[in-house]
Chain A
C-alpha cells in the first residue's frame, strides 16, 4: 500500500493561523468540481492501459507552449528519505526519483491525462512466454549513465540481485519473491555482496537482452517493474555495499537530471545529465535546466508562499498538496484557482464491514443503504477538497476499471432510510447493534456524528468506539476486533487489481496485522482471485479484477467510499499539470513559463 504522502495526515491537523480575513470572497462559482481531464468523461477518470513498442519510443510528446530552460524550485515539506532506487517505495520519493532514475518500464501520462504503461529503458513492455512465467526485455539503443557509459543487461541483472542484500530493506519486495519462489526470499538467495553466484533466474544472453524466469505466471510482471523501487542502478558504482548510505543520498543518474548537491532534509540541487538522450525517453519532457528543492517547508507555509507568489516562489511547485486550512480560500478565489493543480489520485477510502461479526448479508446491505455518504462528502471538503463519491473497490486509475453502482449510492448519496429499515425487517433483526470505531481526530469524530445519526434513523443501535489515533492501525488490524465497521484507505502499488483485491479481500490472507479488514472469506472470490492472477494480459486481468470487485461489493463486504482527489498550487512563472499516476504534481512535464 502506498502512502499518500502527508496530505491525508495534514487534513486532520489544525495550525493556528495568522490574522483574520473577515467575510470572504463569494465562492459559489468556484465550488464546482474541476473538469476531469479525460477522454472518457462518463467515467470521470484517467484510464491506464498497456502501450506497445511505438508508444515506448522517445522523445516524450511536447507540451504545447512549453519552453526549455530555467530553474524550478520544489517547496517540499520533507526531503526524500531515500533516492537509491532499491530503497524507494513512497510517492514523494518516487516522484523525485523519476527525474533521476529510469527503470525498464515506466508510466507515461499522455496529453489527455490518460496513462500508458510503456518501456522506459526497454524497447517495449516486454514479451511474455509460458503465459506470463518468462519475460524478455530488450534495452534501447543509446541509453547511458551520467558518466557516458552504456546501460547494459548486466546492470539490469545486478540491480535485481542487490535487492536481496539486507542493506536494501525499504523498497517493494514482490519481484524478489517471484524470482526465487519464496516469501522468505533472502534465505533463498543472499545477494551478490557476499560473493557466490548470481541469480540464475535472470539471464542476459547479450548486452541488451534480459530474460526473467518467474516462479509462476505473473501477467502483471511488467507493471510491477514500473515501480521506482525497480529502477536500474549501475553495477560499477554500487559494488561496495559499505557505500550504500552515500549512494542513497546521491544515486548515479540515468534520467534527465543528476544531483549536484544534496543536504538531506534541507535542500537539493539538480542539473541536466548531459548523457541523457531525449530520443530514448517517452516519459520525461525535462524542460527546466535545473531543479532546486527546499525541504522542511510545511504544506501550509508552501501554500502561503504560493498565494503570495513573490520572488523565487513564482518558480515553485510542491507535491504534498495544499494546506487544508487554506483550501477554502484558494478554491474561492478564481485568480488563485488559475494556478491550481487538481485531479483524481489512485487512493481510495472505504468502510470495512467486519463480516465475521455481521454474518447476515441483509444487515450489511442495510448498513450500506443507511450510510450518509453525501453528508460525509460535504463535511470532508467535497470533490475538490476530498474526493469523488466512489462505488467500487478499485480506483478509477486501475487497469480494467469499470464503473458500477450496485447499491444505488450515487442516486441516493444521503442514504435510503426506508430501504435500510425494510432490509432489517427482512433479516428479522430488531435494532442490531453496530460498533463503529473511529480515530480520535476532529474529522473522524465529526463523521461519527453523521454515522450515528444515520444508523439510528435506519433502526440500528449505534455504539461509537473512539480509538486513540496512535493505536488505530494495531486495533483495526486484529482479526478478533470488537468492531463492526471502520474506515480504511488503500492505494495500489501498480494499477493491477492484484495489488488491491487480494490484500483487502482474499479470505486466505485473514490474519492479525494483515489488511483484510473485513475479515472477508468467500471461497468463490478466493477462487476467482486465483484464476484472475493466472491471466496473461493486462486487459484480461483488468476485466477479471473488475468482476471480482463487483462480486465483493454485491456481497456487501464493505461500504464503498471515495476516490480521493489532489489539489495543489504552483508559482505564476511555472506551468505544471496533475500527475494521475502518483496523484500529485507532475514534475516530469513542468516548465518555466515567463
Chain B
C-alpha cells in the first residue's frame, strides 16, 4: 500500500483522535477492490429490492409464459442465443417459455431474501451462544459444546428434505396448498436452526482468549457487571470475526437454498428461484447455453464480490493491516 501523505494542514492530534471505526472506514475506502465489490454486491441487493419496479419498466412479469410460442416441438428456445432478442433480453426459459431476465431478477430476490434472513438469524444465535459459552464457561460451555457437536454432525440438507414434508402435513390442511410464506418461513427457520453452530464455535474460542486479557480482568476488578463486560468489553472485539463469518455465510446459504429448490423442498416452481434456475440450466446447456450462463454468471459475480467485500472489511477492521 502506498504511503499515506497527510494534508499539510492536518494537525497530528486529529489523526490520533480517530476512533477505531473511523480508522477502519478510511482503510476500507482505500481498498479499491473492496469498494468496487461493495457496489456490485449492493447492486444485487438493490435489484432484489426493486424487482417489481424493474418488472414494471421492462413490461413483463416472472410468471407469464410470453415466449411459449417460440419454443420448438421439444420445448427449446431458438438457438444459439436461447431466444435472446430486444423483446427477451436474456432469452426464454426452455420448457415453460417464461422470460429469463424476469426469472433472474425475481430469483435473485427470493434467494437473497432467504439467505439474508437466515444469515442474520444464525449470526444472532451464534453470537449469543458463542459468547455465553465462552464467557460463562463450565457447565454452560460443556452443554453448548455438545449441542454444537450434534448440529455440526447433522446433514442439514437431508434434514430439510425430511422436515419440509412433515411441516407441510402438520400445518397445512389436506385440501389446502402449502402457502409460499410457510415454505419461506420453514426454509429460513431451518437454515438458521441448523446453521449457527459453526459461528458459535468460532466465536466461543475468540471469547475464551479475550476473557483472560488484562482489560477484561481490569473491568472485573473495577466491579463491572457481566452484561457490561460482554457488551462493552468483549463484543466490540468480536466485530471483525462476526463480519467475516457473516459475509462468508451469506453466499453459502445462497448455494444451499439453490440446492434445496432443486431437491424439491424449496419454494416450488411457480416462485422464481436463482439456484433452481442455475441447476436447471445444467440440464439444458448442451443446446441452450445462455440459460445456464446468465444465472451462473450472476451467481459467480455475486459470490466473488461478496466474498472480496468481506475480505476488505476484515482487512479494514484488523489492526495489524498496514496503512493508516
List residues of A whose CB falls within 8 A of some B CB: 14, 16-17, 20-28, 31-33, 324-326, 328-329, 331-332, 375, 378-385, 433, 435, 439-442, 445-446, 448-450, 452-453, 462-469, 471, 482
A288 to chain B, nearest CB (A): 32
**Which of the segments B51-59, B175-183, B227-235 contacts the partner chain?**
B175-183
Complex alpha-carbon distance, A380 and B94, angstroms: 11
Complex alpha-carbon distance, A450 and B63, angstroms: 10
Q: A375-B65, A445-B264, A464-B270 are in contact. List 9 more A-B contacts (CB 8 A).
A: A20-B289, A28-B72, A329-B286, A439-B264, A440-B264, A442-B262, A446-B269, A448-B270, A463-B176
A453 to chain B, nearest CB (A): 7
List residues of B whose CB falls within 8 A of some A CB: 65, 68, 71-76, 79-80, 95-96, 165, 168, 174-178, 262, 264-265, 268-270, 279-280, 282-289, 292
Are B73 and A383 in contact, CB atoms less than 8 angstroms apart? Answer: yes
Q: What residues of B have a CB within 8 angstroms of the CB of A25 in the complex?
A: 79, 287
Are A469 and B264 in contact, CB atoms less than 8 angstroms apart? Answer: yes
Are B264 and A441 in contact, CB atoms less than 8 angstroms apart? Answer: yes
Q: Give the most central of B95, B174, B178: most A CB within 10 Å.
A: B95
Are A332 and B287 in contact, CB atoms less than 8 angstroms apart? Answer: yes
Chain B residue at smallest Cβ distance from A329: B286
Chain B residue at smallest Cβ distance from A14: B283
Partner of B289, one of A23, A378, A433, A471: A23
Are B268 and A26 in contact, CB atoms less than 8 angstroms apart? Answer: no
Complex alpha-carbon distance, A375 and B65, angstroms: 10
Q: What residues of A have a CB within 8 angstroms of the CB of B177 in the complex?
A: 462-465
- Tell whether A31 pairs with B280 under 8 Å between CB atoms, given A17-B285, A22-B80, A375-B68: no
Q: What residues of B have a CB within 8 angstroms of the CB of A381 in the complex?
A: 74-75
Are B95 and A482 in contact, CB atoms less than 8 angstroms apart? Answer: no
Chain B residue at smallest Cβ distance from A414: B68
- Tell whether A24 pairs with B74 under 8 Å between CB atoms, given A326-B286, A449-B270, A468-B165: no
Chain A residue at smallest Cβ distance from B264: A440
Partner of B74, one of A22, A382, A439, A450: A382
- Tell whether A31 pairs with B269 under 8 Å between CB atoms, given A24-B79, A446-B96: no
Complex alpha-carbon distance, A465 and B174, angstroms: 8
Complex alpha-carbon distance, A235 and B99, angstroms: 66
Complex alpha-carbon distance, A28 and B80, angstroms: 12
Q: What residues of A have a CB within 8 angstroms of the CB of B65 in the complex?
A: 375, 453
Q: What residues of A have a CB within 8 angstroms of the CB of B283 in the complex?
A: 14, 324-325
Are A379 and B79 in contact, CB atoms less than 8 angstroms apart? Answer: no
Are A384 and B74 in contact, CB atoms less than 8 angstroms apart? Answer: yes
Are B178 and A466 in contact, CB atoms less than 8 angstroms apart? Answer: yes
Are B96 and A482 in contact, CB atoms less than 8 angstroms apart? Answer: no
Partner of A378, one of B71, B175, B270, B285: B71
Are B80 and A23 in contact, CB atoms less than 8 angstroms apart? Answer: yes
B82 to chain A, nearest CB (A): 9
Are A14 and B279 in contact, CB atoms less than 8 angstroms apart? Answer: yes
Q: What residues of B have a CB within 8 angstroms of the CB of A465 in the complex?
A: 174-175, 177-178
Partner of A328, one of B71, B74, B176, B292: B74
Partner of A466, one of B71, B76, B268, B280: B268
Complex alpha-carbon distance, A466 and B283, angstroms: 22
Q: What residues of A have a CB within 8 angstroms of the CB of B73 in the complex?
A: 31-33, 378, 382-383
Q: What residues of B have a CB within 8 angstroms of the CB of A440 in the complex?
A: 264-265
Are B286 and A325 in contact, CB atoms less than 8 angstroms apart? Answer: yes
Are B262 and A14 in contact, CB atoms less than 8 angstroms apart? Answer: yes
B85 to chain A, nearest CB (A): 16
Are B288 and A24 in contact, CB atoms less than 8 angstroms apart? Answer: yes
Q: What residues of A have a CB within 8 angstroms of the CB of B284 in the complex?
A: 328
Q: What residues of A have a CB within 8 angstroms of the CB of B75 in the complex?
A: 378-382
Chain A residue at smallest Cβ distance from B288: A24
Complex alpha-carbon distance, A332 and B95, angstroms: 16
Are A31 and B286 in contact, CB atoms less than 8 angstroms apart? Answer: no
Q: What residues of A have a CB within 8 angstroms of the CB of B287 in the complex?
A: 24-25, 27, 328-329, 332
